[in-house]
């Protein structure tokens, strides 16, 4: 999607974190922006803050609820029109050992991080295919590339998201549809979601990360890790190293396996 000017763009989780920053960046590019978020107060705040920059709309949606997704999609199409760009950004994390997870922890993480992007894409994809134009950007995680203690279900959800997202890209190519798919795999981002994380690898700044994602959409990037070396390191390292050596390098040298030891997460 080389030019975002005049496009209708929907962002899930668009009322906070990098989602909110992307709302601003897209409005600055003269796009029409639709926010889906579970927090109505933050939706209202975001719209009030950015309404002078362009056309921005908000919908209160729990993306773990398929009925809400389908009903909200109908409203968007009736009230605003066809969505040209979809950014599946909403996500949650439960930072504790798998043995400590509740049934709700597991189901909610998978519903929001893995299933919701599929269901949301499904309700908008037919329109994109019909007009033979569109872009879907899925915000996964480097946690979908590297196993990590205290984020097992989160990692599972993001591994699923990466596999589905890039498969969808290939399907659009096989069907000769000009619907681009971008899969983003960022490292920890300093938005509050990962408060308490301690890392030898620099934690990402939200503004720069959001801008990188928007530019990736503009450049029709297929897959992008942030920073870029994360993807190359993990794929190459896993290919040439035994599991024991990779565990030593990722865990002891880079300290990745200890990053969640002091995790607290965002305090709502």
Helix axes 116-131, 152-174, angle to 10 degrees: 10
Q: What is the 3-state secondary structure (H, E, C) of the chain?
A: CCCCCCCEEEEECCCCHHHHHHHHHHHHCCCEEEEEECCHHHHHHHHHHHHHHCCEEEEECCCCCHHHHHHHHHHHHHHCCCCCEEEECCCCCCCCCHHHCCHHHHHHHHHHHHHHHHHHHHHHHHHHHHHCCEEEEEECCHHHCCCCCCCHHHHHHHHHHHHHHHHHHHHHHHCCCCEEEEEEEECCECCCCCCCCCCCCCCECHHHHHHHHHHHHHCCCCEEEECCHHHHHHHHHHHHCCHHHHHHHHHHHCCHHHCCCCCCCCCC
Residues identified as active-site: 154
Nearest one of 148, 99, 151 to 257, comparing CA atoms: 148
Residue corresponding to tokens 């690898």: 201
* Rounded CA separation 205/20 (Å): 14
């Amino acid at each position: 999607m080389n030019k975002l000017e005049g496009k209708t763009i929907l962002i899930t989780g668009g009322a906070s974190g990098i989602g909110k920053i992307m709302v601003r960046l897209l409005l600055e590019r003269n796009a029409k922006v639709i926010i889906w978020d579970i927090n109505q107060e933050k939706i209202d705040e975001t719209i009030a803050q950015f309404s002078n920059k362009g056309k921005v709309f908000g919908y209160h949606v729990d993306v773990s609820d398929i009925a809400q997704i389908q009903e909200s999609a109908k409203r968007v199409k009736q009230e605003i029109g066809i969505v040209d760009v979809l950014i599946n950004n909403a996500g949650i994390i439960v930072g504790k050992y798998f043995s400590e997870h509740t049934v709700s922890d597991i189901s909610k993480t998978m519903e929001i991080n893995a299933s919701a992007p599929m269901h949301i894409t499904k309700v908008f994809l037919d329109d994109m295919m019909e007009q033979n134009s569109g872009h879907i950007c899925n915000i996964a995680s480097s946690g979908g590339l590297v196993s990590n203690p205290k984020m097992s279900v989160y990692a599972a959800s993001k591994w699923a998201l990466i596999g589905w997202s890039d498969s969808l890209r290939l399907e659009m190519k096989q069907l000769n549809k000009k619907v681009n798919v971008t899969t983003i795999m960022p490292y920890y981002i300093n938005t509050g979601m990962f408060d308490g994380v301690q890392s030898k690898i620099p934690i990402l700044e939200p503004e720069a990360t959001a801008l990188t994602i928007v530019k990736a959409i503009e450049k029709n990037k297929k897959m992008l890790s942030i920073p870029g070396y994360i993807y190359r390191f993990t794929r190459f390292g896993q290919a040439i190293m035994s599991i024991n050596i990779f565990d030593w390098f990722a865990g002891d040298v880079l300290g990745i396996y200890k990053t969640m030891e002091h995790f607290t997460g965002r305090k709502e």
